Amino acid sequence: MSDAERGDGITRRSLLKTSAAGAVAAGLAGCTAGANPSNETIAGAAGTAYGNCWMCHKLCGMEVTLNREGRAQELHGIDGHPRGSAGEGTKGTLCPKGLSQLEKAYSPQRIKKPHVRKNGELQAVSWDEAFSYAADRFEEFETEHGVEKFVNWEGWGTAGGLFETFLKDFVGVPNHMPHPTPTCFGSMAVPGTLMGLGGGNIRWVDYPDTEYVLVWGRDPLETFAGQWEAKQLLDARDRGATVVTIDPVLTETAKQSDRWLPIKPRTDGALALAMANVIIEEGLYDEAFVENYTHGFEAYREAVADKTPEWAAEKTGLDPEAIREVAVGFAEAAPSAGITSWTGLGQSPDFFKGAQNVVALLGLVGAIDRPGGNRWLGGVGLGNPFEERGIELPHAAKGKKPVIKGKGSDYASMIGKPVQNKIPEAIRNGDVQGMSFYYRNPVPSGAGDEWMEALGELDFFVTIDAFWSDVAREADVIFPEATQLEKPMLGKGGAGAYQNRGWITGSRAAIEPQWDTKPGIEIVLGLAEAMGHGDAFPWNDAEEYLNDKLAPHDLTLEDLEKRDTYVVAGEYGYEKWKKKGFANGSEKFWFDLDKKAKIFKGLSKKAGTEIRTEPQWIEPGTLGDAVDDEYPLEMIDARTVYFSHGGDQALSNPLEQLAEAMNLEEEDYRGNYVLLNPKDAEKRGIESGDMVTIESRNGSTELMAKVTEGIVPGTANVEPYGFGEGSIQPDEEGGNNMQLNAPDQYDDVSGQIDRHLGIEVRKTGGDAR
């Protein structure tokens, strides 16, 4: 690899820190006598440590100011960091969640000791006892049920890979649920991959060179994948690139865009077809790319021939002239034009077609992996610690048939992906009898009520988490994990501020594990030892294990800290499809998915109408839930910067700021909110600050209403999700809107859980209807 371009690793920021401790202290010491312990004078700042933020798992680099007792006092971003800055020579920061890690590390609401279930009750025990209890229970489970009936389920654990390797290759568990689908953006990711763009690539616009950005069902100024995205998007706009946000909600990104197209939910597919109609009609598409690198253009052209902006205006609620202008602007800027999309077009069965129509636009204008278009990321590899030590994996799961995925599974989607919503049924049927959750909580993700019931029926349930929840309280073994500041971190990319460059970032623990907790890697090491696999896990601690991953680069975590936690390495170019083909395994990008006709046959059968292989308009409710007279509002939801998730409890500071953002901080309520347009609110006698019940055909929950002009009438936006019953919020305040989702409401192709539901909203206690 090319070495870091940073030489001695001393930056303006690190210089400032070291000198601040000495020089300024003389002048200021004593000014704040009597301040609380986290609030000492500059003279009290005894040292600097490092970290890589894990609040939304994007590894933004951090400097941690420590006091003399080794307590973390302040957190700061790192200049030039690939995730926390806009790139070389730019300022690094931390977002509000990142800054809240101080509160997270020292929160008294943490799980403070390992727990095991004895005679039906959870009891705090030592780590040794917890490991040996878990080892015995795993052994009993294997004898009684067989490991085929055990499911491991991971969210964003920091030892994710190692925990899965242990359970799969040493214990023999064949069932592993990956993170992104079925809870993230499956309805966009699967068509994106089948067409050849690659599921995740719909997010990454090459901001430094772009001239036109369609922010389509995503809010990168708030829900960024690392702060670099927000910074580079603002920079692109200030440099003159046009930013258009297509969203039913006036998001932070919409507020800062050149244009907001407030689209009716689930009509994005119509807008995309009309844009294609204009682009083809005006001859603005990339003829050479279409000719040489795509398949199915004729079917696409025919499909959009009558899909005029006027036709789309009726479906979307948008102005036909605006549709025309945006189509022309986007196509003229291409290939330096990109689309960034995500969950907004990824969480309804209807989006399987809507997303296809949107992704097709990138092929039409040839904006795939070209400067200023949608990026295909490269990067840099890390070592395999087992290989470094010459340890062969026993591959214990080989030949064991997974229950939850693959062909023939009753609980898998059409393409064999595990369907989270079907696991409660698998538990009821006795096909799944044991589970492990690592920073994962299915209850706020779908079929909430069914999950709560099913968890109680498991024979054996292990969880690794940092905070208590109703889910954790159901477990037989609870391993409390240390939070980010208390453990070493290592990661690589990929997506980040450096155009066409990969990076590695890492740091050692900044503070000791609080209470009786351990880093995830050390939990796996302890469990492996207790289960008789100690020889294959020879590392003494997490840092030693991670350093083996860095070995091929001749680096250690300590070395990385000397370079401000990161190195930039591994260069890659554009138009990688020329040599490597597309993400569908073909040499061509597919507008028409006729080679996957079987999926469409299945969908047609389910919908009772023909779902075609080429881009096509389907009315909302064709595959997903219908909005009707009884349930007249479309529920959508959003993950704001303050969101809560397994392991990522929303802390008091972000909750306070969320309430302030809603202008409802005076209310004695710190849950989530449902946003309503005044037209919908007035009809129901609802005002901002009222507690309301949202109800679907399947269930209901209660939360606070926020009335705003910044939302399309007919839409109810739950912001953010992840609160209420079964969530990781300590008091379960707020509403869990996935109690409204029925187990059969998911995308049959990807397994993605449906979050676009027809609902009614009424003031709690009132009779609005």
Tell me if 75 contacts another protein by CB under 8 A. Answer: yes
Q: Taking the complex as a whole, how short is the minimal distance between the CB of residue 705 and another protein, in angstroms?
A: 16
CB 596 within 8 A of CB 206: no
Site for another protein in 89-128 (CB under 8 A): 91, 93-96, 98-100, 102-103
Tell me if 610 contacts another protein by CB under 8 A. Answer: no
Binder among 169, 211, 252, 747 for another protein (CB under 8 A):
252
- Nearer of residues 94 and 569 to another protein, judged by Cβ: 94
Pick from 440, 380, 60: which is nearest to 225 by CA?
Answer: 60
Q: Taking the complex as a whole, how short is the minimal distance between the CB of residue 482 and another protein, in angstroms?
A: 20
CA–centroid distance for 561 within its chain = 27
Tell me if 668 contacts another protein by CB under 8 A. Answer: no
Tell me if 10 contacts another protein by CB under 8 A. Answer: no
Residues in the chain: 769
CB 111 within 8 A of CB 75: no
Site for another protein in 153-192 (CB under 8 A): none
Tell me if 655 contacts another protein by CB under 8 A. Answer: yes
Tell me if 564 contacts another protein by CB under 8 A. Answer: no
The stretch among 51-59, 88-96, 445-453, 534-542 that binds another protein (CB under 8 A) is 88-96
Site for another protein in 676-705 (CB under 8 A): 677-679
Tell me if 237 contacts another protein by CB under 8 A. Answer: yes
CB 560 within 8 A of CB 9: no
Torsion of CA 261, 262, 265, 269, to 10 degrees: -20
- Token pair for residue 65? 């100011």
Q: Taking the complex as a whole, how short is the minimal distance between the CB of residue 275 and another protein, in angstroms?
A: 13
CA–centroid distance for 690 within its chain = 30
Binder among 175, 183, 201, 227 for another protein (CB under 8 A):
227
Site for another protein in 450-469 (CB under 8 A): none
SS3 263: coil
DSSP letters of 86-99?
SSTTS-----HHHH
Tell me if 306 contacts another protein by CB under 8 A. Answer: no
- Nearer of residues 78 and 423 to another protein, judged by Cβ: 78
> Could you tell me which residues come within 8 angstroms of residue 242 by beta carbon, excluding any fewer than 6 positions away?
211, 212, 213, 258, 259, 329, 333
Binder among 710, 730, 763, 764 for another protein (CB under 8 A):
710
Can you tell me the distance from the alpha carbon of 115 to that of 521, in angstroms, rounded to the nearest whole number?
18
CB 414 within 8 A of CB 136: no
Tell me if 384 contacts another protein by CB under 8 A. Answer: no
Site for another protein in 257-276 (CB under 8 A): 257-262
- What angle (nearest 5°) sits at the alpha carbon of residue 417, between those of residues 416 and 422? 105
Q: Taking the complex as a whole, how short is the minimal distance between the CB of residue 277 and another protein, in angstroms?
A: 17
The stretch among 334-342, 416-424, 483-491, 706-714 that binds another protein (CB under 8 A) is 706-714
Tell me if 540 contacts another protein by CB under 8 A. Answer: no
Helix (H) or strand (E) holding 321: helix 320-333
Binder among 274, 364, 495, 641 for another protein (CB under 8 A):
641
Tell me if 193 contacts another protein by CB under 8 A. Answer: no
Strands 434-438 and 150-154: parallel
Tell me if 483 contacts another protein by CB under 8 A. Answer: no
Tell me if 27 contacts another protein by CB under 8 A. Answer: yes
CB 171 within 8 A of CB 307: no
Tell me if 313 contacts another protein by CB under 8 A. Answer: yes
The stretch among 246-254, 373-381, 510-518, 546-554 that binds another protein (CB under 8 A) is 246-254
Q: Which residues of 54-79 are buried (b: 16+ CB within 10 A; e: fewer)?
A: bbbbbbbbbbbbbbeeebbbbbbbbb
- Nearer of residues 178 and 678 to another protein, judged by Cβ: 678
Q: Which residues pair with 571 in a beta bridge?
A: 501
Tell me if 54 contacts another protein by CB under 8 A. Answer: no
Instruction: Please name the residue ranges forming H helices in 108-185.
Output: 127-144, 160-165, 180-183
| Peptide bond before residue 494 is cis, with ω within 30 degrees of 0 | yes
Tell me if 649 contacts another protein by CB under 8 A. Answer: no
Can you tell me the distance from the alpha carbon of 186 to that of 638, in angstroms, rounded to the nearest whole number?
16
Binder among 3, 5, 128, 319 for another protein (CB under 8 A):
319
Can you tell me the distance from the alpha carbon of 237 to that of 375, in angstroms, rounded to the nearest whole number?
18
| Peptide bond before residue 678 is cis, with ω within 30 degrees of 0 | no
- Nearer of residues 140 and 660 to another protein, judged by Cβ: 660
The stretch among 224-232, 457-465, 585-593, 594-602 that binds another protein (CB under 8 A) is 224-232
Tell me if 656 contacts another protein by CB under 8 A. Answer: yes
Neighbours of 105 (CB within 10 A): 23
Can you tell me the distance from the alpha carbon of 229 to that of 676, in angstroms, rounded to the nearest whole number?
28
Binder among 107, 499, 657, 700 for another protein (CB under 8 A):
657
Binder among 7, 8, 36, 456 for another protein (CB under 8 A):
36
Q: Which residues pair with 249 in a beta bridge?
A: 711
HSE, CB side, 13 Å, CA atoms: give it for residue 241. Answer: 29
- Nearer of residues 318 and 426 to another protein, judged by Cβ: 318
Q: Taking the complex as a whole, how short is the minimal distance between the CB of residue 36 and another protein, in angstroms?
A: 5
Q: State the angle between helix axes of 268-281 and 320-333 in degrees (0 to 180), rounded to the nearest 10.
A: 60
- Nearer of residues 521 and 658 to another protein, judged by Cβ: 658
Backbone angles phi, psi at 503, to 5 degrees: -160, 160
CB 703 within 8 A of CB 724: yes
Tell me if 675 contacts another protein by CB under 8 A. Answer: no
Tell me if 320 contacts another protein by CB under 8 A. Answer: yes
Tell me if 711 contacts another protein by CB under 8 A. Answer: yes
Pick from 15, 51, 83, 9: which is nearest to 559 by CA?
Answer: 9
Tell me if 58 contacts another protein by CB under 8 A. Answer: no
Binder among 16, 128, 534, 605 for another protein (CB under 8 A):
16
Q: Which residues pair with 464 in a beta bridge?
A: 438, 479
- What angle (nearest 5°) sits at the alpha carbon of residue 172, between those of residues 169 and 177? 85
Q: Taking the complex as a whole, how short is the minimal distance between the CB of residue 488 and another protein, in angstroms?
A: 23
Helix (H) or strand (E) holding 301: helix 297-304
CB 569 within 8 A of CB 501: yes
Tell me if 663 contacts another protein by CB under 8 A. Answer: yes
- Using only C-alpha atoms, the chain has a radius of gyration, in whole angstroms, of 26
Binder among 387, 512, 660, 682 for another protein (CB under 8 A):
660
Tell me if 652 contacts another protein by CB under 8 A. Answer: yes
Tell me if 51 contacts another protein by CB under 8 A. Answer: no
- Nearer of residues 183 and 210 to another protein, judged by Cβ: 210
- Nearer of residues 36 and 143 to another protein, judged by Cβ: 36
Tell me if 650 contacts another protein by CB under 8 A. Answer: no
Q: Taking the complex as a whole, how short is the minimal distance between the CB of residue 646 and another protein, in angstroms?
A: 22
Q: Taking the complex as a whole, how short is the minimal distance between the CB of residue 176 and another protein, in angstroms?
A: 34
Torsion-angle region of 165 (φ positive above 0: left; ψ -120 to 50: alpha; else: beta): alpha
The stretch among 160-168, 172-180, 511-519, 672-680 that binds another protein (CB under 8 A) is 672-680
- Nearer of residues 130 and 675 to another protein, judged by Cβ: 675
Question: How many Å from the N-terminal Cα to the C-terminal Cα in the chain?
Answer: 66
Tell me if 728 contacts another protein by CB under 8 A. Answer: no
- Nearer of residues 127 and 642 to another protein, judged by Cβ: 642
Q: Taking the complex as a whole, how short is the minimal distance between the CB of residue 231 and another protein, in angstroms?
A: 7
